[in-house]
Amino acid sequence: MAKNNNTLLALDLGSKTGWALRQAGGAITSGTIEFRPGRFEGGGMRYLRFKRWLAEMKQHGVDTIVFEEVRNHKGIDAAHAYGGFMATLTSWCEQQEVPVPYRGIPVGTIKRHATGKGNASKVEVMEAMRRKGHDPIDDNASDALAILHWALDEEAMP
């Protein structure tokens, strides 16, 4: 279960990843970070930067990670990028000295929990997070906050 003393990281995976962090004391922060490769870099650099960022986040004492589990992508590039981020995340979690528990949550489940509708728009999810007292920087951070609240409310993690 997502206990009050756990530090929980919620992720909306992508080249522009949304994140929300609930620290053991209850403080919640959120934002976005970009992992797009530079002009003269190979495509794998985004995943190496993502892995380094995960290591930085672990320094905050992250106990559990939840992420948006996407089953349908609008394009091939998005599907490839998501698959790379998910593979990097899950292998990184498994590789830790004490593996970090992780879980994917379907998009519809997250939207339904946040708004009451499984097909809610990005704007509706953002409005729902604002009603909870957050000021997400964009829809990626808003999605990460919605994932975080699902995990906290459903007590989904060990």
Q: Which domains does the chain have, with CATH numbers?
A: 8-154 (3.30.420.10)
Tens of pLDDT, residue by residue over 58-70, are 988 898 999 999 8
Summarize the chain as % helix, strand, coil (round to 5). Answer: 45, 20, 35
Average pLDDT, the chain: 89
Residue 116 has pLDDT above 60, yes or no: yes
Cα first-last separation, the chain: 4
Residue 133 has pLDDT above 70, yes or no: yes
Query: What's the pTM value of the predicted model, to 2 decimals?
Result: 0.90
